[in-house]
Chains A and B, each alone.
Chain A
C-alpha cells in the first residue's frame, strides 16, 4: 500500500512541472511539427495535409538559406569571441586590483539593460554622420560609412552588439567558477615552476571546463534566440543581410501569416539547436572534469 501511495505522491509532486513543461514546450513542439506537414489555412480553404511540401519549398527558398548562413556566421563569430572575452574579463576582475567591485559591475551592466534600449544606443553609435564609431574613426580617415546600411558591414555590426551584450553575462559564471579554485593550487604550481600561462592552460582552463560547457550551450542557444536588436537596428536588411532564422520565422509567421511555413522553419531551428547541444555534450563529455 505504502508503495502505491509513494508513487502517487511522487507523481503529484512532479505534476505542476509536467503540466507547465507540456503546455508550453512539448505540446507546442508536436503541434508545430504537425502544422509543418499541412498547408496554411485560408478563409475559403482549410489546411490540408501536404506531407513534406513545405520542407521542399524551404529548400528552394533563397531567403531561408541566406538566413541560415547569416545565423551560422552570427553564432560562429559571436560565441567564441564572447566566451573568450568572458574568461579574460573574469580572470582580470578575479585578481587583486583596486575597484574590482566597480569593474565587475561595469562588465555586467550590458546584461541588465533591455536589448531594445541597447539597440537604440548602438543605433546612435553606428550613425554615419554623428555616431560614436564615426567620430572615433575620423582621425584615421574613415568617415561617413553607413555601417548598418551596407550589406558588407551590417551583420558584423550586429555581431559586435551581441558580443558586448553577452560577454559580461558569461563572465559572472566564470568568475564564480574561478573563485571555487583553491589558491593553494596556484601556490603549489608556482613552487613547481609553473608561470601564469602554464598554470592557466594546465590547471585553470581544464578546471573551468564544466563552466565552459554550460556557457557554450547557452551562448549557442542565445545566438539563435537573441533577435531583438535586429528589429530595432536593421529589420533584417539591407536585402536580408542581417536576417537570421528566428527573425525570418517571425516575418513569415506574423507579417506574411504563412503559419505552415513558419512552423516548418521553427522545426528546422529546433532540430538545429538540439543537434548542436547534443554535439557539444558528446564532444565535451570526455574532456570535462566535474569535481
Chain B
C-alpha cells in the first residue's frame, strides 16, 4: 500500500513555481530519497508533505487519507529537521516525549515508550542532559528518537546528516537505514548528497528546477541516467559526457580502459591533466582540448604522470547516448538489464 502519494503537486510563491506538478508514490516500509542540488525544490516538497506549506494545486495522500488541507498535526507524520529543532530548555527525555505529552499519552505508557526508544538510539545514559550538553551526533539521535517514539506511519527527514562530520555521517547513514528497515518505517528522505541517496534509498527521486528529473532505484539512476543532468549529478566522479556530432556519449569512468582498443570500440586520445590517487583506485583525467576531459578509473596506483599522451577506449555497449536536448536515446541493449 502506498503510504505517501503525491498527485500533480505544484507550489508557487511567485510566477516561477518552486515545485512543478510532482507526482510519485512511496510504498509502505520503503525509504525514498529526494535528491537534488540546492534550490531544486526538494525541501519545499518535503514541507508540502509535512503540511508546513500549502500546495498551490494537487493532492497529497498519507496512509490512504487525503491530507491536502489538513494541518501538520493531523497528517500522522514525524519529522527530523536539518537543525534538529530540539527544545533547548528541555532535557533529552522531555524533548523525546514532548509530542506524547502534548497528545496526552498516559505517564506509564510514555515512560515505557521512552525507555524503549532511548534503548534503540542508545541515549539511555543521557536522558537528563540538555541538548547543549550533547555532541552533534547525540543531538541527531535525540531528533531521531523524537520521530521514532511518535510511531507515525510516515517519517520525513530534511537533510538530517548535513550538520555532521564525514565520519559520523557515514555511521549515521548505516544506522538510520538499519533502523528504518528494522522498524519497517516509511521514510521520505531529502538530501543534496548523492552518496546518502544512493546508499540508503530503495528509490531515488532526482529533482531539478522543481520537477522530477528521474525516479527509480539507485542502480537505474547510476546505470541508465535519463538525462545528462542525472548522468553528471550521480556518481563520484560523475559520468563522462563526450560530445560526438549530434549525440553526447556518456561513459562511467570505471568503463574507460587504457590503450587504443579494438574494432567497434570508441577510442579517444589526449594528455593526462591530473592523477588522483584514492588508495583502492586512481582517477586519471585526460584532457581532450576543447572537447573537455575524460576521467578513467584505474585499479590501484599508476605510473602515469601529468602531461603523458594517452589512448583511451570503451565498449559502446556500456555507454549511454544522449540527444542534443540532453535526453537519453533508447538503444537496443537487452544485455543491460536493470
Residues of A within 8 A of B (CB): 182, 184-185, 187-194, 198, 202-203, 206-207, 209, 289, 291
Contact = CB atoms under 8 A, between A and B. Distances in A.
A72 B87 CA distance: 37
10 contacts: A182-B83, A184-B83, A185-B85, A188-B85, A190-B73, A191-B78, A192-B73, A194-B99, A207-B89, A289-B130
A192 B145 CA distance: 13
Interface string B55-93: 000000000000000011100011101010101110000
Contacts of B99: 191-194
B24 interface: no
A194 B102 CA distance: 6
Nearest to A207: B89
Nearest to B89: A289
A191 B50 CA distance: 8
Interface string B205-234: 000000000000000000000000000000
A202 B100 CA distance: 13
Given A187-B72, A194-B102, A203 B87 contact: yes
B87 A190 contact: no
B102 A192 contact: yes
Contacts of A188: 79, 81, 85, 146
A211 to B, nearest CB: 13
B83 A189 contact: no
Given A190-B72, A193-B102, A209-B89, 4 more contacts: A185-B85, A190-B71, A193-B99, A202-B98
Given A184-B83, A291-B132, A192 B98 contact: yes
Nearest to B74: A193
Nearest to B78: A191
Contact of B88 (A190, A191, A192, A207): A207
Interface of B: 50-52, 71-73, 77-79, 81, 83, 85, 87-89, 98-99, 102-103, 130, 132, 146, 150
A216 to B, nearest CB: 18
B187 to A, nearest CB: 15
Nearest first, the 3 A-B pairs at minimum CB distance are A192-B99, A188-B85, A289-B89
Contacts of A182: 83, 85
B133 to A, nearest CB: 12
A198 B102 contact: yes
A191 B102 contact: no
Contact of A189 (B50, B51, B71, B98): B98
- Max chain B CB contacts within 10 Å: which of A187, A189, A192, A207? A192
A184 B89 contact: no
* Chain A interface SS verdict (over half): helix
Nearest to A209: B89
B85 A206 contact: no
Contacts of B150: 192
B102 A185 contact: no
A192 B102 CA distance: 7
A83 B146 CA distance: 34
A209 B72 CA distance: 28
Contacts of A193: 73, 99, 102-103
A69 to B, nearest CB: 38
Contacts of A207: 88-89
Nearest to A199: B102
B12 to A, nearest CB: 19
Contacts of A291: 88, 132
A273 B41 CA distance: 57
Contacts of A184: 81, 83, 85
- Max chain B CB contacts within 10 Å: which of A182, A187, A203? A187
A185 B89 CA distance: 12
A284 to B, nearest CB: 13
A182 B89 CA distance: 13
Contacts of B103: 192-193
A192 B248 CA distance: 49
Contacts of B78: 191
B162 to A, nearest CB: 14
Nearest to B103: A193
Contacts of A194: 73, 98-99, 102
B86 to A, nearest CB: 8
Contacts of B50: 187, 191
Contacts of A190: 52, 71-73
Contacts of B85: 182, 184-185, 187-188
B77 A191 contact: yes
B295 to A, nearest CB: 40
A190 B99 CA distance: 9
B294 to A, nearest CB: 44
Contacts of B132: 291
A190 B52 CA distance: 9
Nearest to A183: B85
Nearest to B87: A203
B142 to A, nearest CB: 12
A193 B149 CA distance: 14
A189 to B, nearest CB: 7
B310 to A, nearest CB: 51
